[in-house]
Structure 1
């Protein structure tokens, strides 16, 4: 087995200098560093990422960037499930992940600079905040990029079929007999939120149901509290809806809490359908009917598309929509007959 001392002997430098070069210390000249790395690669001393890069022209690392306005990151079940799937398929391809630290924002370093310094081969961006200038900087760079949950013209994207998912939710409520269907939307700056709003509005039109602008409520940053406050506003309306399609399961849980605090029952008085199918959805009371996002497939396709770009050494522009599924549980039923008479 080749050691650092073997590399030092062959390159003609001290073991200290070799160690510094292999670990990219700034007090070693580029000329010296280049010679040492080339010697290390020739001798097969490749545990160090820099020497490995010389040998394969890859660092075998992928950068992970979160860009969401609420800064929940991997604490959100959807994001954590997508990243877990992405990690699994990336590792099968021989790649490790580097997660960009949030404290980069407090330092004079951008996410792009950080990833370039770490010599990543590509970047996955988990994004619900399309206004983030650092996302734009990464997209416009030469790095292969894949984005989850955002529309963009200059890079590859994988996302759920949010428009169809919203239509699925409204159709389910309509099939149960509901015509007064409200929607608690996510923050309007999110592409995902706007797609689900579009699906809601298109479904009402296709089903020839009246559109009541008061029934479209902004629930904010997909939080339980945001859903609860939005539902309270719906309950204060002169004519309350008999059902609510909520753009995220966390918000749906908050909506159910608000309904119960108002002295009403779910689904007897108001039916609630969510979006995501987080694990908690099947454990709350009543169990939440929701639209399931296929996080396993989203993560898998993101890894496959990103690795394909890296292997082809060509930045691809691919947009894939992953099908969703209606999960019928206990939170939706036929509308209350007394309410139907009003």
Structure 2
């Protein structure tokens, strides 16, 4: 079995330096740490987790919780991509992830109690339900925590610029000549749904564009089916919109299917723009124009904020707003004259 003394001999560093590098001590340079980690990987060094936790008072684990009303979790491409980005960062820093089971809700034990029992060093929460009491319990505890996709909390939060995203969508449609723009909204009980509705209204008002009540349709919890149902309502209107901004790509894809089933062509008859830039948006026909949320940056920045708290053993209250970007593809063109 390879030991730290073997690593010290191979790298030329002292066993103390090797130990510090493996345990992420701040007084070891990144260059030295990387050289030791590379040697450890090459030699197949496996630290004793129990011994490590005793000496460092750390479990080298991070708890992961999904808090969303539709309980889709990692099945949703957006959440999946964020967790994958977070996992890569955490793994690089030597941490493993523990995903909380939804069965906890029926076992009379809170997520916080579960994570404390497992001895995690920190928690990341993917949250679209700001009223979830379990999330609030964790936020109000002393354990290091980062919440993704929520704002105005007593902790570190990371989220996309949803207001700007909605404005980019409306700006682009307006630049093409559209004035009758409808919005398939995410549930207003979710943070993203609420803010994108606000962004849609704000952008439309800024350009003196009308927002009839029937142009704002509830698309529920961002699913393909709910997007399709919402689009059916818009297609039934006497004064049909010439463009639709959907608050999520799944809803936009559902809207495209609903239009197609009625013989309505996209983008010739109606333009559709989505939100998220999930992988599928590049492969549907026509390719979906959408607002990109940078999941790589969101996951990595959440990891950095959580690591900083775990190292400093100090709660940090901050908001990180991640920029969004319009991805122009094929689903939007100027309206018919």
TM over 0.5: yes
Q: Could you give the per-residue CA deviations for residues 161-192 of structure 1, whole angstroms, max 9, x where no partner exists? A: 01000000000000000000000010111111
| Alignment map for 1:50-199 (pairs within 5 Å) | 51-199=51-199
TM-superposed deviation, 1:47: 2.1
TM-superposed deviation, 1:131: 2.1
| Alignment map for 1:1-342 (pairs within 5 Å) | 47-49=48-50, 51-337=51-337
State the match for 1:8 in structure 2: none
Q: Over aligned residues, Cα RMSD in angstroms?
A: 1.5
Q: Residues 119, 206 of structure 1: CA spacing in aligned structure 2 closer, same or farther, 3 A cutoff?
A: same
TM-superposed deviation, 1:48: 4.1
SS in 2 for 1:54: helix
Q: Distance in 1 between matches of 2:49 and 2:63?
A: 18
TM-superposed deviation, 1:52: 2.7
Aligned residues: 294
SS in 2 for 1:326: strand
Q: Distance in 1 between matches of 2:138 and 2:67?
A: 12
Return 262-271 or 176-185, whichever deviates more. 262-271
SS in 2 for 1:168: helix
SS in 2 for 1:321: strand
TM-superposed deviation, 1:263: 2.0
TM-superposed deviation, 1:261: 1.5
SS in 2 for 1:336: coil
Return 84-93 or 177-186, whichever deviates more. 84-93
Q: Distance in 2 between matches of 1:47 and 1:71?
A: 36
Q: Distance in 2 between matches of 1:229 and 1:209?
A: 25
State the match for 2:14 in structure 1: none
Q: Distance in 1 between matches of 2:257 and 2:290?
A: 16
SS in 1 for 2:266: coil
Q: Which 4+ residue blocks in structure 1 deviate beyond 3 angstroms?
A: none
TM-superposed deviation, 1:95: 1.0
State the match for 1:33 in structure 2: none
Q: Could you give the per-residue CA deviations for residues 100-134 of structure 1, whole angstroms, max 9, x where no partner exists? A: 11111121211111100011011000011122111
Q: Distance in 2 between matches of 1:153 and 1:329?
A: 36
SS in 2 for 1:334: coil
Unaligned 5+ residue runs, structure 1?
Answer: 3-44, 338-342
